[in-house]
């Protein structure tokens, strides 16, 4: 019989125990009733003696004969469940033996037990009607796919069984199985689909069986009575109880703070503060439940590479992703390539001495040191050659897009400004709306609040306009990292090999429709001798000012790279999506239409975030090693979350209005008009936003047509409340959280979430290597301050300005490591799922023709948008996306192939 017992490793609450005890009684009643009235096939329990087996076989044959009589008399019918499994891609002999054993167990009916539950209530048991059978068949049926196999289970059900609503599946094998789908044939309505694509744990790991629901969407109030209890129970089993260390086979979704980034047991230098709480607020992550470190009881013990960090089982990368691009590529990078780069270059970690040194990375490559172990060396070489452009230990980088057409574009002011609108981080530029520019930091700590950028300095660059006229005409813009970074600059500059400023950059939008940088302000914390430690730079005309101006721009680019990676990329997409995903699993049944809507946009995100905590954003990880903030990186991310993150401002139109880059205009399709029409990120982003909004509104309207249907949806209300109160607990009392009362409220919330996971992440992720792969264009670290005339280094700067500039950039080791990371993060995997494919993906999850029509309309709309973007990139009037040597803006094109393409919008954050 079906065992309704929670895992021994997971103590259960009294509420869950109560539900399980009810189902045990009901299933027992169903079995007795079915056996007496309809003689549904009994479960055969294996025994140690031959008599038990013979009795069981005799009973089974008797049942089969009885079932045949019932079918022939019209009181019952035979149905067949076809079970599709995905096998692992293996080559080991032991694995092949395991596969043969699995086939044998399924052949004799000892491998997989399925229980078919009707949507209808049985009048006797008051539960769903029930039939069960083992999967059987001596040989699995191979499919066209080499790793897909099919088995069958024959069941006999009463003639009034009704439509199947759920299947309970028990895996009696010694290992987990990957269930693709179950299709039940034999009912008058046609085949009934249960497409799940899920891992089913072995009963030896957890005696609790899995509940699988059919491909139909129901609001909680519409759930068929026969599966209502199962719906509630399945949600309870996913939530766990917040105790114990999670095991890799489990599927428990719960919350925790970021207390696993440091490793104080290994070194005091690797201790990191806890993120999440009043002092350092942060979104919550998925709980793993590991014990505390020895030296810090508030820090969680780390799992170091290559051992995996727990994520719920279905959140892990599928094998095709592991074996092709992103997952295998990222793991190979972090576990093998980066250490190999470090071993090669660390002993001579020197700066680039001339631009030819940088060019060699693309022409000649980096020769990596051989390992002393020949066997390991051969294996590593083969692996790296498959995943990267590494041949015979030669790491050779592709030429980044930013210099592919024009190798000197990065030097020009117009390209520096263009990237603020069409680069990898086009989300920080703002309209300057007030003058003078004033800091909001405490002047008692950070000095006088007013900027050193004066009216006279600005008006020298405005071609006869006054500051007031330029502000009124919306011609002045600012990239302001002063308040975000100044509190950390002193600590950052105390780190070896790092020198940074807090920066402000002012831009002027010319009458020719071109944005140009006019002033850079670089600030250091006040000192006892100087309360105003600020310097002003402009492009100048002479050679000396030209080189100093380039150094000032490089410092701005370094700040921009850090804010991009730590705030806009990691925090606002990866970290903020994680609570939405956890809450969706905990509160929205897989039957819920909103779960089905969000599911493609949650794929792989928890896994990639876990990998990032393990090797990218952790203490001593790649981000700390290669970006200016160093060990203070995540503290800056937390400070940004505290000061600027708002859910309502993550909507693209709201964000553009907040930054002054758009104004409200009811005559425009989305009610906003861009201040700079040639703003590629915003112009293309609004097209994608509009398509998502239209799609979501149609979908929500389809399911929530009745009055009060949003407020009466208990799963939905629990979902939204938990996102605010647990997932973003440090922001729970903010008044700006949207209400969830109407279907318009729901559509707005969902549009923001889907945009964040898809278009927003694509726009700020997949251009990392095309723009950052050339170090002078976007250095992630600056190692020297700009020399003063009275500095000892000033004379050397005058004699060798090129060397001074390059010596200020990342070292060869830092640059090579960060280029490898950016290359990987910019790579689409071979199994990427893109937004335009949603109608193909969702057809296996939603059995609703009207919804599939909505999805097809969305796909068609995205195709139209792609054509529009391609036309824009050919428009010579749009100078930020076309012209001599100018890369077209393609980051928001919906389609892409695998690799570093600088285009394509995946459904989810998967790299």
Instruction: Indicate whether 119 belongs to any domain.
Output: yes
Q: What is the pTM (predicted TM-score) of this model?
A: 0.91
Instruction: Indicate whether 855 belongs to any domain.
Output: no
765 has catalytic annotation: yes
Residue 880 pLDDT greater than 80, yes or no: yes
Instruction: Indicate whether 219 belongs to any domain.
Output: yes
Reported as a single tens digit per residue, the pLDDT across 423-443 is 999 999 999 999 999 999 999
Query: Is the Cβ–Cβ distance between 627 and 562 less than 8 Å?
Result: yes
Q: Which of 201, 569, 592, 828 is catalytic?
A: 569
| pLDDT of amino acid 497 | 92
| pLDDT of amino acid 22 | 44
Structurally, how many domains does the chain consist of?
1
| pLDDT of amino acid 382 | 64
Residue 184 dihedral angles phi and psi, to the nearest 5°: -100, 120
Range of the domain at 212: 76-239
Share of residues in the chain with pLDDT > 70 (%): 84
Instruction: Indicate whether 382 belongs to any domain.
Output: no
Q: Which of 34, 106, 765, 907 is catalytic?
A: 765
Compute the chain's Rg from CA coordinates: 30
Reported as a single tens digit per residue, the pLDDT across 100-158 is 666 666 665 678 999 999 999 988 888 899 899 999 864 455 556 777 888 899 999 99
Q: Which of 310-319, 441-450, 462-471 has the lowest mean pLDDT?
A: 310-319
209/743 Cα distance (integer angstroms): 36
Residues in the chain, overall count: 911
Q: Give the CATH number for residue 227.
A: 2.60.60.20
| pLDDT of amino acid 87 | 82
| pLDDT of amino acid 381 | 64
Strand order in the sheet with 210-213: 128-134, 112-121, 164-171, 210-213
Residue 63 pLDDT greater than 80, yes or no: no
Tokens 């050679």 belong to residue: 543
Instruction: Indicate whether 193 belongs to any domain.
Output: yes
State the average pLDDT over residues 236-265: 96
In the three-class reduction of DSSP (H, G, I as helix; E, B as strand; rest coil), residue 307 is classed as coil
828/766 Cα distance (integer angstroms): 8
Instruction: Indicate whether 732 belongs to any domain.
Output: no
| pLDDT of amino acid 372 | 53
Share of residues in the chain with pLDDT > 90 (%): 72
| pLDDT of amino acid 108 | 56
Reported as a single tens digit per residue, the pLDDT across 539-557 is 878 999 999 999 999 999 9
788 has catalytic annotation: no
Q: Which of 1-5, 133-137, 777-781 has the lowest mean pLDDT?
A: 1-5
574 has catalytic annotation: yes
Reported as a single tens digit per residue, the pLDDT across 43-61 is 323 334 444 444 445 445 5
| pLDDT of amino acid 62 | 53
Reported as a single tens digit per residue, the pLDDT across 587-616 is 999 999 999 999 999 999 999 999 999 999
| pLDDT of amino acid 735 | 97
| pLDDT of amino acid 233 | 96
Q: Residue 30's pLDDT band (boundaries 50, 70, 90)?
A: very low
505/417 Cα distance (integer angstroms): 10
Instruction: Indicate whether 112 belongs to any domain.
Output: yes
Q: Residue 531's pLDDT band (boundaries 50, 70, 90)?
A: low
State the average pLDDT over residues 786-804: 94
Q: Which of 482, 574, 585, 592 is catalytic?
A: 574
Q: Which of 564, 587, 761, 828 is catalytic?
A: 761
* The token pair that represents 244 in the structure block: 């114990």
| pLDDT of amino acid 629 | 97
Residue 262 pLDDT greater than 70, yes or no: yes
Query: Is the Cβ–Cβ distance between 560 and 479 less than 8 Å?
Result: yes
Mean pLDDT score of the chain? 88
Instruction: Indicate whether 146 belongs to any domain.
Output: yes
781/662 Cα distance (integer angstroms): 32
Query: Is the Cβ–Cβ distance between 10 and 240 less than 8 Å?
Result: yes
For residues 332 and 275, the model is more confident at 275
């Amino acid at each position: 019989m079906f065992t309704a017992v929670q895992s021994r490793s997971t103590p259960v609450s009294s509420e869950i125990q109560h539900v399980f005890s009810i189902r045990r009684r009901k299933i027992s009643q169903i079995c007795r009733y079915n056996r007496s009235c309809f003689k549904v096939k009994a479960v055969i329990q294996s025994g140690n003696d031959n008599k038990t087996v013979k009795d069981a076989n005799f009973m089974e044959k008797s049942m089969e004969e009885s079932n045949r009589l019932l079918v022939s008399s019209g009181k019952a019918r035979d149905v067949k469940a076809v079970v599709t499994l995905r096998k692992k891609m293996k080559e080991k002999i032991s694995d092949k033996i395991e596969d043969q054993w699995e086939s044998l167990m399924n052949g004799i009916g000892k491998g997989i037990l399925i229980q078919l539950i009707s949507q209808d209530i049985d009048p006797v048991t008051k539960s769903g009607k029930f039939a069960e059978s083992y999967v059987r068949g001596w040989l699995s049926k191979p499919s066209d796919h080499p790793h897909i196999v099919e088995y069958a289970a024959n069941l006999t059900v009463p003639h009034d069984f009704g439509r199947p609503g759920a299947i309970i599946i028990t895996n009696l094998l010694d290992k987990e199985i990957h269930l693709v789908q179950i299709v039940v044939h034999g009912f008058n309505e046609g085949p009934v689909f249960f497409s799940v694509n899920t891992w089913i744990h072995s009963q030896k790991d957890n005696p609790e069986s899995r509940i699988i629901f059919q491909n139909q969407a129901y609001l909680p109030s519409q759930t068929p009575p026969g599966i209502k209890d199962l719906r509630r129970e399945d949600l309870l089993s996913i939530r766990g109880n917040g105790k114990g260390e999670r095991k890799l086979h489990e599927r428990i979704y719960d919350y925790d703070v970021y207390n696993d980034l440091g490793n104080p047991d290994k070194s005091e230098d690797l201790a990191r503060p806890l993120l999440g709480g009043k002092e350092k607020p942060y979104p919550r992550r998925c709980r793993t439940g590991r014990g505390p470190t020895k030296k810090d009881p508030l820090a969680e013990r780390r799992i170091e590479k290559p051992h995996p960090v727990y994520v719920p089982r279905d959140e892990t990368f599928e094998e095709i992703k592991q074996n092709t691009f992103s997952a295998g590529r990222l793991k190979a990078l972090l576990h093998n390539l980066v250490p190999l780069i470090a071993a090669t270059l660390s002993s001579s970690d020197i700066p680039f001495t001339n631009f030819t040194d940088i060019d060699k990375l693309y022409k000649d490559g980096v020769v990596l040191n051989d390992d002393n172990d020949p066997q390991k060396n051969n294996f590593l070489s083969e692996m790296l050659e498959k995943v990267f452009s590494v041949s015979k230990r030669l790491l050779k980088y592709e030429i980044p897009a930013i210099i592919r057409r024009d190798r000197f574009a990065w030097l020009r002011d117009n390209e520096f400004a263009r990237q603020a609108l069409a680069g990898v981080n086009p989300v920080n530029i703002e309209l300057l709306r007030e003058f003078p520019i004033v800091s909001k930091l405490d002047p008692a700590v950070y000095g006088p609040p007013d900027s050193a950028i004066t009216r006279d300095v600005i008006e020298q660059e405005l071609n006869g306009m006054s500051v007031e006229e330029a502000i009124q005409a919306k011609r002045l813009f600012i990239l302001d990292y002063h308040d975000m970074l100044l509190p950390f600059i002193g600590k950052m500059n105390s780190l070896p090999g790092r020198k940074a400023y807090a920066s402000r950059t002012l831009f002027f939008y010319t009458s020719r429709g071109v944005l140009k940088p006019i002033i850079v302000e670089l600030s250091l914390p006040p000192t006892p001798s100087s309360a105003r430690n600020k310097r002003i730079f402009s492009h100048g005309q002479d050679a000396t000012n030209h080189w100093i101006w380039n150094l000032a721009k490089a410092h701005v680019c370094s700040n921009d790279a850090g804010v991009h990676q730590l705030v806009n990329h990691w925090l606002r997409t990866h970290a903020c999506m994680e609570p939405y995903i956890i809450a969706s699993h905990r509160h929205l049944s897989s039957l819920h239409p909103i779960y089905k809507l969000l599911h493609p946009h949650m794929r792989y995100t928890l896994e990639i975030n876990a990998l990032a905590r393990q090797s990218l954003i952790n203490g001593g990880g790649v981000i700390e090693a290669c970006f200016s903030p160093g060990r203070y990186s995540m503290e800056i991310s937390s400070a940004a979350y505290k000061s600027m993150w708002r859910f309502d401002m993550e909507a693209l139109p709201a964000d553009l209005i907040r930054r002054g880059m758009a104004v409200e205009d009811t005559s425009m399709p989305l009610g906003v008009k861009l201040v700079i029409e040639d703003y590629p990120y915003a112009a293309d982003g609004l097209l994608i936003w509009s398509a998502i909004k239209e799609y979501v509104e149609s979908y929500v309207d389809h399911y929530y047509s009745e009055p009060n249907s949003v407020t009466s949806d208990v799963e939905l209300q629990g979902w939204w409340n938990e996102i605010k109160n647990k997932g973003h607990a440090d922001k729970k009392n903010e008044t700006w959280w949207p209400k969830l009362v109407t279907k318009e409220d729901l559509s707005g919330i969902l549009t923001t979430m889907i945009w964040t996971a898809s278009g927003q992440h694509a726009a700020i992720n997949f251009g990392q290597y095309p723009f950052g792969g050339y170090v002078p264009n976007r250095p992630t670290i600056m190692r020297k301050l700009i020399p003063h005339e009275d500095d000892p280094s000033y004379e050397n700067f005058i004699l060798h300005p090129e060397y001074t500039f390059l010596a200020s950039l990342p070292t060869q080791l830092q640059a090579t490591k960060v280029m490898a990371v950016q290359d990987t993060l910019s790579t689409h995997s071979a199994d990427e799922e893109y937004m335009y494919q949603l109608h193909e993906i969702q057809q296996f999850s939603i059995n609703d023709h009207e919804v599939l029509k909505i999805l097809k309309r969305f796909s068609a709309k995205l195709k139209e948008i792609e054509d529009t973007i391609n036309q824009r990139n050919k428009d010579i009037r749009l100078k930020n996306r076309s012209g001599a040597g100018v890369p077209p803006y393609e980051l928001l094109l919906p389609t892409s192939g695998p690799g570093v393409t600088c285009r394509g919008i995946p459904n989810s954050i998967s790299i």
